[in-house]
């Protein structure tokens, strides 16, 4: 049932650290545009040990939660049900509380990635490269399972990480080949490159951007642009950024938590851009 504007409802983002999160900016912008004057969205620093206690204190006014690291897997035992998308990567970034008190988990990162790529005209690719092998890399593989018809090459720093990525490929039905990080410059020749590494990790690759780059999806948004993204854009390549992902996955969260359709993506993006500029 769609939420009424006067309903006093709460939502929040949890994680540790959490002060950097843009989620409150994006969700509040959506509430303003939708006229949900009774809604609030906050942030709470919560780690794995504190998560069960946080859940125990939630009242009926709570509509949902956004989850960031390190809680995306830790939350699963506390839920009544998780979506097929969340189950595919063992990661939940969205919890919705139903009227009958059930806790439903979902993952909006994966469809958010697909939507961000689609917005930039990427509907399908015949191959791709992934830089990194962490939790975001597994979500990237899940997104590629929906749009990539051929091989995905994952560039990683250790054989343990390589084995993990191959296992994720088997689980998600994606053809994954792994390569050493020392050869990561070769990734930049792929039709689609998804960078999932922490800030600064890909800076050394900027000098290797080809003369005619294709599409780079860099999941970072602060600092932005990364050196790789800046160089990619300078050479005329298409760049999808972390804010694109953040906004698209947040739109899906707002839809689920409020029951509203037509969530104002552009207003949320403007709010995010303004907040980042202020930093």
* Alpha-carbon dihedral 179, 228, 238, 277, rounded to 10 degrees: 140
**What predicted TM-score, i.e. pTM, was given to this entire model?**
0.94
CB of 142 closer than 8 Å to CB of 171 = no
Residue 72 annotated in active site: yes
Give the count of beta carbons closer than 10 Å to the beta carbon of residue 95. Answer: 28
Q: How far is CA 26 from CA 30, 95, 114, 188, 263, in A?
A: 6, 17, 19, 31, 11
Q: Which of 16, 57, 72, 274 is catalytic?
A: 72
Cα gap 197→204, rounded to integer Å: 13
Q: Taking the chain (279 residues) in consecutive chunks of 10 residues, what is each chunk's mean pLDDT?
A: 69 96 98 97 98 97 96 97 97 96 97 97 97 93 97 97 96 97 98 96 97 97 95 97 97 98 96 95
């Amino acid at each position: 049932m769609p939420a009424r504007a006067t309903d006093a409802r709460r939502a929040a983002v949890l994680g540790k650290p959490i002060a950097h999160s843009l989620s409150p900016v994006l969700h509040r912008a959506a509430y303003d545009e939708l006229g949900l004057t009774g809604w609030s969205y906050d942030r709470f620093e919560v780690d794995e040990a504190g998560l069960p206690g946080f859940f125990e204190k939630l009242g009926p006014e709570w509509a949902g939660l956004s989850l960031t690291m390190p809680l995306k897997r830790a939350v699963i035992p506390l839920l009544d049900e998780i979506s097929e998308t969340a189950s595919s990567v063992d990661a939940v970034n969205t919890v919705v509380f139903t009227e009958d008190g059930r806790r439903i988990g979902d993952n909006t990162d994966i469809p958010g990635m697909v939507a961000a790529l689609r917005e930039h005209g990427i509907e399908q690719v015949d191959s791709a490269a992934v830089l990194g092998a962490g939790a975001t890399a597994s979500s990237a593989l899940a997104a590629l399972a929906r749009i990539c018809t051929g091989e995905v090459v994952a560039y990683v720093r250790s054989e343990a990480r390589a084995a993990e990525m191959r296992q994720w490929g088997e689980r998600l039905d994606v053809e994954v080949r792994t390569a050493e990080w020392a050869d990561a410059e070769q990734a930049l020749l792929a039709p689609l490159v998804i960078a999932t590494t922490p800030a600064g990790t890909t800076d050394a690759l900027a000098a290797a951007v080809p003369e005619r780059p294709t599409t780079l999806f860099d999941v970072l948004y602060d600092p932005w642009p990364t050196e790789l993204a800046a160089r990619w854009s300078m050479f005329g390549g298409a760049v999808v950024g972390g804010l694109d992902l953040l906004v698209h996955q947040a739109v899906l969260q707002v839809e689920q938590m409020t029951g509203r359709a037509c969530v104002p993506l552009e207003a949320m993006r403007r709010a995010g851009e303004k907040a980042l500029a202020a930093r």
